Structure 1
Amino acid sequence: MHSGLGLLPSLAAEKVTFRYGLFEQSIPVADIRSYSETQKASSDLKPFLDYLSALDKQKFKETLQVKMSLDIVALDKLINTDMGKQILSFASLAIARRDQASIQALRSAIIIGAKSPEGLGLVSFLQAYPSNQLVIDVSKISRLVGLANSSSSPADAPPKDDVSSSPLGKIALQYQKLAAQDKQFSGCLFGDSISAELGNTLGSGTFNFGLNGLSAISLLEQLKILIPTKVKCEKAIIAIGGNDAWYGISDELFTKNLQEAIALIRTMGNKEIFLIPAFYSTVAGSSDPTISAPNSRVEQINALINKVAEIEKVALAATGVAPLYENNVLKDNLSSDGDHLNAEGLKIYRQALLQILQK
């Protein structure tokens, strides 16, 4: 697949070293894998975890659970596009190697990691990295993140839909375009970050088009990119609304966008369309505007979704996700951060989707 891979040593990363100036800390990859499976930290990993805030520690745990089942051919094409090369080049600046093969090594780790039985995740990437040590320069990561965010909105600016303009959004859309080309799926899921967390775990013949930050605005943009690929979806599930509430989208614009999205999806050869109500937050999440919209606004969005379902004569699938809530509030024990679902919450959501797809 990559003629240049033969130039790389046949190794796998045994440890990750974080470098900051003269300070270095190394963590065995085996310890990271063990922690992802048991949640028990080794003596080498514990100092690193102790350095993290409670929220960052939770995010690290969640990151370890992300395992993406990817189309290898589409992934290979993606990382050989100009966009893919730019992102690999950008990321390689934070990796210290004695040779000049940083980009080549990243490409190798991504492809080989994605071929693993568990899919591409942090651990499978590390185990596929062609060196016995992966050295990450933390100071360079800080500078790169600052550069990436230099043209973004101020931290205190209202949240907005930037799925199609952000680097990660662009590359995710490009991957979906390549992976969906001329394909026919029994079920397709369109949703925001909560749906994206499920990965492609809904069974053979299905595809999860979920994207972080997706609203009805970016859903339309996503569909306009996908439709020319001639992708077909026998059943389509739309699970959006939470971000529309958070972004402050008006009732009129949300209703218009959702109806236009349904019209576009109907051109994809489907027999049935299902709408999932917008996800509520916990009490704490609902009261924090940096996390999510107030549940009262989400309730208004759900009233609009009900209305659109009735007008467009599509099914509203609310029963399966009802166990997530109590009085239209997300249960604390099913959330990781007040807005997103934890493993138990995702299990309930996934089961609700499987019931729809298997009918």
Structure 2
Amino acid sequence: MHSFFGVLPSFAAEKVLVRYGLFEESIPVADIRKYGETQKVSANLQSILGYLSPKEKQQLQDALQVKMSLDIVALDKLVNTQMGKQILYFASQAIARRDRASVQALRSAIILGAKSPEGLGLITFLEAYPSNELVIDVSKISKLAGMASSSSSSADAPPKDNVSSSPLGQIALQYQTLAVQNKQFSGCLFGDSISAGLGNTLGNGTFNFGLNGLSTISLLEQLKSLIPTKVKCEKAIIAIGGNDAWYGISDELFTKNLQEAIALVRTMGTKEIFLIPAFYSTAEASSDPTVSAPLPRVEQINALINQVGETEKVPVEAAAVAPLYENNVLKKDLTSDGDHLNAEGLKIYREALLKILQ
């Protein structure tokens, strides 16, 4: 691997140095792993967590739970594409190194982290980073985040589907096209961030095509990109609609898009297609337009899903995900932010999908 990546140190990161102006704090990677696994906080980590709000702490804890099982060959091809190199260069600007190997080091940590039995996650990335210390400049991260947000819609503008046009959406889709070339799967899942949160945990022979922020608009773009790869799916689940409700997509456009998506999936050799209703949020989240769609609009979208299912003779598996809700409202103990599922919620959702896929 070292000859493959070039001359890099043989050690991995033992500490993360967080730098913000004159402030610096060194945190052992082992402390971060312990916090992710047990939520026990070391003294060094506590000094960092003290600056975070309860919501930000929960987001960090959620991020530490993400472990992606990735196709190493496809991932290696991806980081060598022009887009992959650009994103690595973009991210490397927030990492301080004395040499000029920031991009190379990031690439190494991603590939080696993905080879971990746990899959690629924040912790396995840190443990694979080829330096005994990873120096992160928070001020540069803030600047880079600002640059990224300024290139998209304004914070005051209504949310919209930009999955296929955003760099992260493009690279996620490009990874999928590389990973499924000429492959056949017993089950395929198409969905938004809630489905994406499952990762590839539906068993061997399945593939999760879930993408954050996906609505029927980008679902069509995704399917049109996948079909030329000649990927085949014996069974397919389409779990879509929540973002369509949030983005304000009209009834006519949603219906048209969903019908077209079903037609495209059928061209992938699919024998059975199942629809999952749009996911409800909590009442509190639904009242905040920056977080989620109003619950009445989600109900309207679900009525349209039922109509499309009847027209296309595709079953709508509402009963399968019913345990997530109470009176069409997401149960508070199954979510960390009112809109997405926590570990217990994802467990219920996963079991529902496994029953559908048999």
CA shift for structure 1 position 22: 2.1
TM-score, length of structure 2 as denominator length: 0.99
CA shift for structure 1 position 289: 0.8
**Residue matched to 1:301:** 301
**Residue matched to 1:171:** 171
Q: Which amino acid aligns with 1:282?
A: T
Distance 1:293 1:145 in 2: 25
**Residue matched to 2:34:** 34
**Residue matched to 2:61:** 61
Q: Which amino acid aligns with 1:316?
A: V
CA shift for structure 1 position 47: 1.4
Distance 2:150 2:208 in 1: 31
**Residue matched to 2:113:** 113
Distance 2:256 2:299 in 1: 18
Q: Percent identity?
A: 80
Distance 2:34 2:178 in 1: 34
**Residue matched to 1:343:** 343
CA shift for structure 1 position 6: 4.4
Distance 1:248 1:280 in 2: 15
Distance 2:190 2:291 in 1: 21
1:234 aligns to what SS in structure 2?
strand
Distance 2:233 2:12 in 1: 39
**Residue matched to 1:268:** 268
1:165 aligns to what SS in structure 2?
coil
What does 1:154-303 correspond to in 2, within 5 Å?
154-303=154-303
Number of residues of Structure 1 aligned to a counterpart in Structure 2: 358
Distance 1:20 1:49 in 2: 14
**Residue matched to 1:78:** 78
**Residue matched to 2:23:** 23
Distance 1:248 1:56 in 2: 28
**Residue matched to 2:87:** 87
Distance 2:343 2:149 in 1: 30
String of CA shifts for 1:46-75, please: whole Å, max 9, x gaps: 111111011111100000000000000000
String of CA shifts for 1:202-229, please: whole Å, max 9, x gaps: 0001000000000011000000000000
Q: Which amino acid aligns with 2:197?
A: E
String of CA shifts for 1:164-216, please: whole Å, max 9, x gaps: 00110010010011001111000000000000000000000100000000001
Decide whether the 8 Å contact of 2:2 with 2:8 is kept in 1: no
Q: Which amino acid aligns with 2:297?
A: R
Distance 1:28 1:262 in 2: 49
TM-score, length of structure 1 as denominator length: 0.98
> Superposition RMSD on alpha carbons, in Å?
0.9
String of CA shifts for 1:119-173, please: whole Å, max 9, x gaps: 0000000000001100011111111112222222111100000000011001001
Which runs of 5 or more structure 2 residues have no equivalent in the other structure?
none
CA shift for structure 1 position 21: 2.0
2:44 aligns to what SS in structure 1?
coil
Detail structure 1 runs of 4+ shifted over 2 Å in the superposition: 1-6
CA shift for structure 1 position 31: 0.4
Which runs of 5 or more structure 1 residues have no equivalent in the other structure?
none
2:246 aligns to what SS in structure 1?
helix
CA shift for structure 1 position 4: 4.8
Distance 1:284 1:2 in 2: 51
1:17 aligns to what SS in structure 2?
strand
Q: Which amino acid aligns with 2:129?
A: Y
Q: Which amino acid aligns with 1:105?
A: A
Distance 1:150 1:156 in 2: 12
Q: Which amino acid aligns with 2:279?
A: F
What does 1:322-337 correspond to in 2, within 5 Å?
322-337=322-337
String of CA shifts for 1:289-312, please: whole Å, max 9, x gaps: 111011110000000000101100
CA shift for structure 1 position 254: 0.2
Q: Which amino acid aligns with 2:68?
A: M
CA shift for structure 1 position 17: 0.6
Distance 2:25 2:151 in 1: 32
1:73 aligns to what SS in structure 2?
helix
Decide whether the 8 Å contact of 2:240 with 2:277 is kept in 1: yes
2:194 aligns to what SS in structure 1?
helix
Q: Which amino acid aligns with 2:101?
A: A
String of CA shifts for 1:262-320, please: whole Å, max 9, x gaps: 00000000110000000001010111111101111000000000010110001111112
Distance 1:284 1:153 in 2: 24
CA shift for structure 1 position 3: 3.7
Distance 1:282 1:78 in 2: 37
Distance 1:318 1:71 in 2: 32
Decide whether the 8 Å contact of 1:4 with 1:104 is kept in 2: no
1:236 aligns to what SS in structure 2?
strand
CA shift for structure 1 position 5: 2.5
Distance 2:235 2:49 in 1: 43
